[in-house]
Amino acid sequence: MGKKLSTYYHDNEEEYCEIHIDLKEELLYIKYYKSDSAKWFHQEYFYGKSMRYVEDAAENWALGIKQIDPQYEGTLL
């Protein structure tokens, strides 16, 4: 279980993502949430990446630049 570090909201303010860190594994990851469910619909791991890199990924998704392919929804990457 990781610790939540920050939250980024999509333009519609109903979808959002959270940056988490697994302190034991020293691993950063993002959980993406849809407005119609409190459960995450996608989780993405960033092995060996910096905090800045993960923040940029979260911000790009919130701005609509980064897209999640629907075939990967409900999966861990």
Q: Tell me: the pLDDT tens digits for 7-66?
A: 999 887 788 999 999 999 899 999 998 876 667 788 999 999 999 999 999 999 999 898
Q: How far apart are CA 1 and CA 37, in angstroms?
A: 20
Q: Is 6 helix (H, G, I), strand (E, B) or coil?
A: strand
Q: What per-residue confidence (pLDDT) applies to 68? A: 80
| Residue 72: DSSP 8-state | G
- pLDDT, mean over the chain: 86
The Cα 5–Cα 40 span in angstroms is 16
pTM for this prediction: 0.83
Q: Is the pLDDT of residue 77 over 60?
A: no
